[in-house]
A and B are shown apart, each in its own frame.
Chain A
């Protein structure tokens, strides 16, 4: 009996936990062995691909440091690349706009409570990898492998070589130090604010401490000076960094005072309207004739705003749906009539004087708003919000239009006032802003039950998809003015914008249609059985789900739009690429210097496109779509 083992439950044992087992962190050496050198063929492939990548890097380095590459062509022409013809004395306006955009971006982060935190381990790995990459560059430029195509690259200035070596050593030391000596780095998260401080601080330090040297472009000669970069570069960028950090904190601080919904709506409205203000009122600096403004523009805005608001408030009362539709139809007819008479010149149609452009547009908008009134009908508070929305719309749009119609004070060598990188960003922004709703409308039309909409949108989409972008741009820049009614002209840039938007809209429509088809029939049935109207169902149920699914495609489209703006160079726009490719090489000092400018332009495009792509992946994980 005594040697029988009695098994008793031992309370001292740890209970089975139901926590997930930790994903084991693989040591770098083991990772290398398992992934790159696991078998003979794997090893051979590793060596081949490494050799290939090294030779590509070497080729790029040789381009950058070649004797023939004169990088002063880029460094002295920064202002040209950024804003082309924009007068130098007024450049503060450009800095102002950049500052506003930085502040708005930080406020947007605050509105959406974006606090991207970084894992210390991942940062340490990136730092080590970055340091390794720099070390490889230093090695290539100092020693080389001795055999083609991996020989040493000549031409790197010794100061730069030393700097690269030091920086590489520093980064590798930091990264490896953290990985080896910090306990459990994958559990430590570095807050975004720390990264923000570090980034801003590093930029400021770079600008004020590192002796990059100063260049000046005077009398057709390049003057080389030693020391840090020019004051005109240092000071504004320092302000920008201060704004970056300050605005982030202010943006988060504001969260305590403004309800989240309103904060987000304000930011969305800002991004739709704000850039237009920046471009047409700040950059362009219209010379307002105050007398005319007070006599004509303001009374007109007040009349349309308050009168229209009162009309909408009255028509949004529940039960007045039929009346609203009738009034809307009448207004639409009236607005269409106005456009017709404008085309025929004044006095031709029953002696009707053609109205001011602004009035014509406003009547058209008013008729749309009236037609939408039944959707917004309800209790007085909701109707008042609708009316205020209209008043706000009038205030903003009239201010903008008045500004556009007024001549500018800028002393520009050759219009337009937009050029360089500013033009690239502006065109990309406007095209995306306009083609997004166009794409949604066309996608909804193409899947609509009504044959007229379906046919029209299919024809539009298939037609545009069959024509290359450059042809569309040519066609619109030349032909559009011939199709417009008398008295209405559109600038070349405006015509390009219209053509590009129509092009982009077709592709956008197809992307969104894909998203629409991903929605299950049950969603439509549930909406119908709850009694939602078709419009409500589309706006509240169908579109939110469809757009979520197509976000990867939409961002891909946005990146494509951004890069394809380079085509406007062919139809006369002076965007970033054209300046790098044609204007700089045409300067007498830098005759024929294409390579450095083109490399720089490529780099700029790549930085922005990659940032958009990264942001899109972050957005996808947050919305739980995609992988």
Chain B
């Protein structure tokens, strides 16, 4: 069992626990996707989750915002425990933003409407204020001129940046990224990663499931390696990539790098 506070620097260890997973287990029918996960994510930490396909990385982060329901164990997000209580779920979802592999933008709305939808209808912001917020966010991700276009008219990289802006519009404390660049052409990956690096530098708590090793090395505070539903190794990026401890980690890295 890997202790959840492995590889924390003293400065990070002093921060609050923002996400606590204790003994989380999840089954899809007979197949066990999560095999007892013990993990702690600290405030303002950037955690990158690596692993082969089927290792449960996406399932884990989808459990954190209740897109999947875990059967055993506890998940506590910013002090709110994730149970079947709808009010808890709503509270957690208002603090956690998610960016998907397939963008999932709303095709019948313009880019601006995509970003302002949630602030207007969930946070009940007045329309003008929501539009100002949305335009500021679109500038931050670098595409303010696309505001009146429809998602179908944008490139993949631009769509993913709109998706990031859409999640940021709800002013979340935590951002979850589920393989954000896996569906992009190589030349568009860097524009999305740049946005994510800026977010990390500004102090957002991020959990990123990705195959982009360069990003992990550069930005992550900790790297988590998962296989077959369990955490195999947690370490800081440099020691993780140069001197992995577990044999399975060594095997995985040799296949990727």
User: Interface of A with B (CB < 8 Å)?
Assistant: 318, 377-379, 381-382, 520, 522-523, 525-526, 528-532, 536, 540-541, 544-545, 548
Contact = CB atoms under 8 A, between A and B. Distances in A.
B126 A523 contact: no
Interface string B169-207: 010000000000000000000000000000000000000
Interface size class of B (residues with CB under 8 A): 20 to 34
Contacts of B118: 530-532
B154 to A, nearest CB: 16
B122 A532 contact: yes
Closest 10 CB pairs of A and B: A526-B104, A522-B104, A529-B98, A530-B118, A378-B124, A531-B122, A531-B93, A531-B94, A544-B108, A536-B121
Nearest to A377: B124
A528 B176 CA distance: 14
Given A378-B124, A523-B106, A530-B93, 11 more contacts: A379-B126, A381-B126, A520-B104, A528-B93, A529-B93, A529-B167, A531-B90, A531-B170, A532-B117, A545-B108, A548-B108
B75 to A, nearest CB: 15
B65 A529 contact: yes
Contacts of A379: 124, 126
B242 to A, nearest CB: 36
Contacts of A318: 124
5 contacts: A526-B106, A529-B167, A530-B93, A536-B121, A540-B121
Contacts of B2: none
B67 A529 contact: yes
A386 to B, nearest CB: 13
Contacts of A529: 65, 67, 93, 96-98, 167
Nearest to A381: B126
Contacts of A530: 93, 117-118, 122, 166-167, 170
B100 interface: yes
A541 B106 contact: yes
A525 B104 CA distance: 8
Contacts of A381: 126
Contacts of B93: 528-531
A525 B122 CA distance: 16
A526 B100 contact: yes
Contacts of B146: none
Nearest to B118: A530
Nearest to B163: A526
B102 interface: yes
B54 interface: no
Given A318-B124, A528-B93, A531-B118, A545 B107 contact: yes
B102 A522 contact: yes
A520 B104 CA distance: 9
Interface in B209-232: none
A306 to B, nearest CB: 26
B144 to A, nearest CB: 21
A544 B65 CA distance: 26
B67 A525 contact: yes
Which of B67, B93, B104, B170 lies at the interface centre, i.e. has the most chain A CB atoms within 10 A of its CB?
A: B104
A262 B141 CA distance: 33
Interface string B91-127: 0011011101010111110000000011001101010
B165 to A, nearest CB: 12
Contacts of B108: 544-545, 548
Nearest to A548: B108
A523 B114 CA distance: 12
Contacts of A536: 121-122
Nearest to B121: A536
Contacts of B102: 520, 522
Contacts of B107: 545
Contact of B67 (A382, A523, A528): A528
B153 to A, nearest CB: 11
A518 to B, nearest CB: 12
A540 B116 CA distance: 12
Contact of B100 (A378, A522, A532): A522
Nearest to B166: A530
Nearest to B106: A541
B53 to A, nearest CB: 18
A530 B122 CA distance: 8
A540 B109 CA distance: 10
Contacts of A528: 66-67, 93
A92 B136 CA distance: 59
A540 B118 CA distance: 11
Which of A377, A531, A536, A540 lies at the interface centre, i.e. has the most chain B CB atoms within 10 A of its CB?
A: A531
A373 B32 CA distance: 43
Nearest to B90: A531
Contacts of B90: 531
Contacts of B94: 531
A530 B117 CA distance: 9
Which of A525, A526, A548 lies at the interface centre, i.e. has the most chain B CB atoms within 10 A of its CB?
A: A526
Nearest to B124: A378
B62 to A, nearest CB: 8
Nearest to A624: B152
A377 B123 CA distance: 11
Interface string B38-81: 00000000000000000000000000011100000000000000
